[in-house]
Structure 1
Amino acid sequence: MSGIGRKQTPEIREIRYRRLSRPVDSLEITTIKALRQGAHESEFTGPQRIDFELIVWIERGTITHEVDFARYELGPGDVLWVHTGQVQRWGDIAAVDGIMCMMPATALDTALTDRLDRIGGWARSHWPADGSGAAQDFAMLLSHYRRHRDLAGHDAEAYDAAMVLLTSGVLMMLASRDLGDTKSEWGGHELLWRFRAEVDRHHAQRRSTRWYARRLGYSERTLHRVVLAHLGVTPRQVIEDRMVLEAKRMLVHDSGSISTVARSLGFDDQSNFSKVFKRSTGLTPGEFRTSSR
């Protein structure tokens, strides 16, 4: 994988972004075919955690791609956006071709990342080829980069910087258009995206709805009312769901004991952790680990 450094662990492959000859806050665009030809087949098996933004546009073929335990059936024209820190698992990568864009999250325009927080754009990964135009716009941008970047000569660095800005703009349109339920849920109230951001940061240490309400400057009653009205679940459920996602990642991709996972997520008692996990998934942590490996 040109431009990407790799570190192997027993359970999960850590995929790190590393520019070889251009600024770190740059982007790399290549084809799936070129990526596949430059790496051993084994590098696309098993789970991978990436520390950069990965956007894939499928041009030919079909593939099943898993992102944080959600499975996406991708076909021609579909766009998949895997975010920094997410765990992905490729299907049969030899069955597809298309264009891939990779960049560190720090390369994204701050106005874009703020807007994504507000509308809940980070919550979505898959945009099907439904004729909305956003996916096609993105594919055209990537194709343009592939054709013209080498012609930039000594101005290639400036060309890359301009392309990062253009890519940020297209990603903004992609996340804003046709968000459907995702937009109506997370984009309806400022409190929602602020609450989500705090839960992302503190779910392993804090599970009290009152703590989050105070931190956000709202009453617990207001937080409960807004979250329930827009998401159909309680704040407690949002916090628990985020904790369970992290638990799933650790159970499947790390070799630590269940008690270690429980302690990492703020549980002093493994039995309490197991009870919460089973209530959410229907499986004990041990059963989930066995069935998912």
Structure 2
Amino acid sequence: MKNGQLPEVRKQARQPARQQIRQLRYAPAPNAAFDVEVLSFERLRHMDPDHHRTHPQRPDFHVLALVRSGAGRHSADFVDHPLKERTVVWIHPGVVHRWTDVDNLEGPLVLFAQGFPPAPGPVAQAAGDVFAPACWQLEEDAWELALRASDHLGHEHAAAVSNPRLASPLLLGHLLSALVLRVLPAGPAEPPAGSTDDQAVFHRYRAAVEERFGRHHHVRDYASALGYGPRTLTRATRAATGLGAKQFLDQRILLEAKRLLAHTDLPVARCAERLGFHDAANFTTFFQRQAGLSPSRWRTGH
């Protein structure tokens, strides 16, 4: 053995491999093939005896959970959240999360596909918010109403599964909308600032960003594709989120960059390529400007 080899081997052995992200697809049970499914923490534990839930996962569907009792922990996009009675958890599609500890939790879990319930309205607006909080607490009076809404949805879902003649996707969609309105952090959503036209423009821009942020990094590209001027996108985005169109786009790219750096072993140059940066140096400059650290230093810290 040559000098210097053993320390290098030891150094590598001390560095644990990053856990790869499990990509989860919406796949309800054959007898429950609706765009919404109602489970429970108890059912989650029963379905996952090997505790895969404690590893990073990325669903392509929504997960809405209400903690009736117990205490535990959950992490979503680099933020650790304590879970206790009256906690609401909402994991949006694409969020990297893990159920760190839910062994003692009880309560419903509602899974639903993207685009369900249908747009438009405050529920669709909340469902499309990629920067929405993952966890929050409800006041006791709002909590009781949320549980009733959840129970109603659960009963209708169970009836639809047991008796297809009673199945009504439209009814399930309405009950899911009622539940979402009851659990939103500030109660039923207020209409966003700006005109109805601005709201429509922002919804189109947000959908386009979600589809293309890994390829297009300039607002003018979206403006051209959507048939608006850059100023129109900026006005609509600021009215809806408080951010300009460019800042909104940059924040979405940054979030995905953090997910790749934290949850994969891809070299920085490959992360840059995944996100549409043709030059790794440009990616490093972008990340440093947005996060205050280089990609390598940020990865080391996470």
- Structure 2 residue corresponding to 1:275, chosen from 251, 271, 285: 285
The Cα of 1:49 is off from its aligned counterpart by: 0.9
Residues 283 and 180 of structure 1: is their aligned pair in 2 closer, same or farther, counting only changes over 3 Å? farther
Residues 149-188 of structure 1 mapped to structure 2, 5 A cutoff: 155-156=163-164, 158-159=166-167, 161=169, 164-174=172-182, 178=186, 184=192
Aligned residue identity for 1:62: A
2:257 pairs with 1:256? no
Structure 2 residue matching 1:199: 3-state secondary structure:
helix
State which structure, 1 or 2, has the greater radius of gyration over its C-alpha atoms. 2
Q: Bigger CA drift: 84-93 or 228-237?
A: 228-237
Structure 1 residue matching 2:68: 3-state secondary structure:
strand
- Aligned equivalents of 1:30, 1:136: Cα separation in 2: 19
- The equivalent of 1:4 in structure 2 is none
Asked if 1 retains the 8 angstrom alpha-carbon contact of 2:254 and 2:290, the reply is: yes
- The equivalent of 1:17 in structure 2 is 26
Residues 145 and 193 of structure 1: is their aligned pair in 2 closer, same or farther, counting only changes over 3 Å? closer
- Structure 1 residue corresponding to 2:62, chosen from 46, 53, 57: 53
Q: Which runs of 5+ in 2 are unaligned?
A: 1-17
What are the superposed Cα offsets for residues 142-177 of structure 1, whole Å, 9 maximum, x if unpaired?
A: 334556766778624634646623433324524777
The Cα of 1:38 is off from its aligned counterpart by: 3.7
2:96 pairs with 1:84? no
> TM-score, normalized by length of structure 2?
0.77
Asked if 1 retains the 8 angstrom alpha-carbon contact of 2:36 and 2:112, the reply is: yes
The Cα of 1:291 is off from its aligned counterpart by: 2.2
Residues 185 and 246 of structure 1: is their aligned pair in 2 closer, same or farther, counting only changes over 3 Å? farther
Asked if 2 retains the 8 angstrom alpha-carbon contact of 1:49 and 1:85, the reply is: yes
- Aligned equivalents of 2:139, 2:230: Cα separation in 1: 40
Structure 2 residue matching 1:35: 3-state secondary structure:
helix
- Structure 2 residue corresponding to 1:110, chosen from 114, 118, 122: 118
Q: Bigger CA drift: 205-214 or 258-267?
A: 205-214
Residues 242 and 147 of structure 1: is their aligned pair in 2 closer, same or farther, counting only changes over 3 Å? closer
Aligned residue identity for 1:44: R
Structure 1 residue matching 2:281: 3-state secondary structure:
helix
- Aligned equivalents of 2:259, 2:88: Cα separation in 1: 24
- The equivalent of 1:44 in structure 2 is 53
- Aligned equivalents of 1:166, 1:224: Cα separation in 2: 33
> TM-score, normalized by length of structure 1?
0.79
- Structure 1 residue corresponding to 2:38, chosen from 6, 29, 47: 29
- Aligned equivalents of 1:230, 1:150: Cα separation in 2: 37
- Aligned equivalents of 2:242, 2:155: Cα separation in 1: 47
Residues 127 and 38 of structure 1: is their aligned pair in 2 closer, same or farther, counting only changes over 3 Å? same
Aligned residue identity for 1:196: R
Aligned residue identity for 1:30: L
- Aligned equivalents of 2:195, 2:86: Cα separation in 1: 26
- Structure 1 residue corresponding to 2:297, chosen from 283, 287, 290: 287
Structure 2 residue matching 1:76: 3-state secondary structure:
coil
What are the superposed Cα offsets for residues 106-163 of structure 1, whole Å, 9 maximum, x if unpaired?
A: 6x2323xx32587444323445212463x54442243345567667786246346466
- Structure 2 residue corresponding to 1:241, chosen from 231, 236, 251: 251
- Aligned equivalents of 1:152, 1:232: Cα separation in 2: 42
Asked if 2 retains the 8 angstrom alpha-carbon contact of 1:149 and 1:156, the reply is: no
Asked if 2 retains the 8 angstrom alpha-carbon contact of 1:187 and 1:193, the reply is: no
Identical-residue share of aligned pairs (%): 25
Residues 74 and 67 of structure 1: is their aligned pair in 2 closer, same or farther, counting only changes over 3 Å? same
Structure 2 residue matching 1:59: 3-state secondary structure:
coil
Structure 1 residue matching 2:163: 3-state secondary structure:
helix
Residues 11 and 131 of structure 1: is their aligned pair in 2 closer, same or farther, counting only changes over 3 Å? same
Root mean square deviation, CA, Å = 3.4
